Amino acid sequence: EAGVTQFPSHSVIEKGQTVTLRCDPISGHDNLYWYRRVMGKEIKFLLHFVKESKQDESGMPNNRFLAERTGGTYSTLKVQPAELEDSGVYFCASSQERGVGGYTFGSGTRLTVV
């Protein structure tokens, strides 16, 4: 079975530009999660989708971040406009069951804002 796929694997953009990250979960996984690790800090939860609905978006840092999951399949995370402090690694995970026991993480997207 294919794992959680994220792309691009790396992205370098200038401050003020827009970037869209994509996550393809494991087929059949209704739960999809975004996390990020800014430089030198902890990995932090951003939000959780159940199918196409946002179950919990308490970790979204501000309104420059927009996550979508149209049709309940893949998800995108758009940063507009990007700021220097948005640099870091963005992880996606999916699970079939609710709860943390069944997470599978993707390999992440490394975002660098210059």
**CA separation for the pair 20, 99 (Å, rounded):** 27
How many residues of this chain bind another protein (CB under 8 A)?
26
103 phi-psi bin (left φ>0, alpha ψ -120 to 50, beta other): beta
Task: Give the nearer residue to another protein in terms of CB position, either 15 or 98.
Answer: 98
DSSP 8-state code for residue 41: S
Nearer to another protein, 13 or 45 (CB): 45
Interface positions, 13-32, toward another protein (CB under 8 A): 31
Residue 30: which of 15, 10, 50 has the closest Cα?
Answer: 50
Q: Is 4 in the site for another protein (CB under 8 A)?
A: yes
Q: Which is nearer to another protein, 38 or 81 (CB)?
A: 38
For the bound state, the minimum distance from the C-beta of residue 84 to another protein, rounded and expressed in Å, comes to: 21
Exactly one of 8, 20, 27, 56 binds another protein (CB under 8 A); that residue is 56
Nearest-angstrom CA–CA distance, 98 and 23: 19
Q: Which residues bind another protein (CB under 8 A)?
A: 3-4, 31, 33, 35, 40-45, 48, 55-56, 59, 91, 93, 98-101, 103, 105-108
